[in-house]
Amino acid sequence: MLRRFRSLIFLSLLVFSLIALGSLVLSRSQSQLPYWTEAAPPTVARQELYPEVSNGKIYVVGGLLSPNTGFSAHFESYDPGKNTWTALRPIPEARHHITLSAVNGLLYGIGGFTGGFPDWRAQPTMFIYNPASNTWTGGIDLPAARAEGVSAVVDNKIYLVGGRVRATEDTRLFTDHIDSVRNEVFDPMTKRWSTRANAPTARNSAASAVIDGKIYVVGGRNFTKNADGTARQVNVPNLEVYDPKLDRWETRSPMPQAQGGLAATAFNGKLYVFGGEQWVPERKVFAESWVYDPQTDVWAAMPPLPTPRHGLGASAIGNRIFVFGGGTQTGGNAATVTHEVLVLPT
């Protein structure tokens, strides 16, 4: 009887200790937020990605391969609940720097470049993907061919801002495109493009997110030519916010550091940005990550990317930001399948 009593006391103490240990671990994990972890890698290594979230999944289309003379028609989705990537029907024509936007369950792939470096040529094309049938159809072309811009959806309309346009109609080289301030909106209901107020800054390789019905455009770079005709690309830290209801732009506090080819997404009313690259005064790839609070107009540092990258994608689902793909060296080479996840407080 005494032995049985002692066993019961031992078991009670063991259960209590396990509960206490579990509470301690949970407390520690919560106090350490945010933190980085890893997730399943995409099936193709590529960069220059503009992902989109639809019905709880992340979609990624096209992109640059390694070496940068290759580019992709590959299309896949990521399911965070299952931690799996699924290959879908490829886009009808391979593209890189193509934007992807979701409206009413359909995905719109717009613009982008064809060709491997240096034979890049901006395209005006729109392709529409239906997840229910796993099929692509043609859409309404842009008023002018464009690539390396950003897209955002507000009130079921697609806004395309900035990026690079052809200097002339027969432009066929990367260096024969110019940065744009164009801001155009597509209404899937009327199937028409319309012009809106130009962005304050002409730039390419920026990033964007929507917060409270406004479009935040951040970072990127300006492209110019040196006297010998070679390219000069200078990063810009600018943060500009577009209000579609007022058709008006507002300039906010710039990034603490100018980063081009970065990724951005929104979570809990704040803007999160990751990585990027720099060409001058020295070539480098960034690990730095930042968060911007629109209420205070203040930037703060976040835990840096475990793997520095540019041309990467970032999407928020729940309290996790999924950051995937990109290039680990400046330029169009060294594409990766790295997939890292930032876990945030809820």
Q: Which amino acid is at 241?
A: V
β-sheet bridge partners, residue 327: 310, 335
Q: Which amino acid is at 275?
A: G
Positions in the chain short of pLDDT 50: 1-30
Decide: 274 and 262 in contact? Cβ < 8 Å. yes
Question: What SS3 state is found at 153?
Answer: strand
Compute the distance between CA of residue 163 and CA of residue 64 in angstroms, rounded to an integer: 17
Q: Which amino acid is at 284?
A: K
Which pLDDT score, from 0 to 100, does residue 3 have?
47
Q: Which amino acid is at 333?
A: N
| C-alpha dihedral (319, 324, 326, 329), degrees to nearest 10 | 90
How do residues 26-75 score in pLDDT, each as one tens digit?
A: 333 445 899 999 999 999 999 999 999 999 999 999 999 998 889 999 99
Residue 12, both tokens: 């009670």
Compute the distance between CA of residue 59 and CA of residue 125 in angstroms, rounded to an integer: 19
Pairing of strands 320-324, 339-343: antiparallel
Q: Which amino acid is at 100?
A: L
Compute the distance between CA of residue 295 and CA of residue 252 in angstroms, rounded to an integer: 11
How do residues 275-288 score in pLDDT, each as one tens digit?
A: 999 999 999 999 99
Which pLDDT score, from 0 to 100, does residue 178 have?
96
Phi first, then psi: give them for residue 95, nearest 5 degrees.
-145, 155
Cα within 13 Å of Cα(49), Cβ side: 34
* Cis ω for the linkage preceding 294 (within 30 of 0): no
Q: Which CATH architecture has domain 39-343?
A: 6 Propeller (2.120)
Residue with the two structure tokens 């930001």: 321
Compute the distance between CA of residue 251 and CA of residue 243 in angstroms, rounded to an integer: 11
- The pTM for the full model equals 0.91
CA angle 194, 198, 202 (to 5 degrees): 130
Domain extents in the chain = 1-32, 39-343
CA quadruple 269, 275, 279, 282: dihedral positive or negative? positive
Decide: 207 and 273 in contact? Cβ < 8 Å. yes
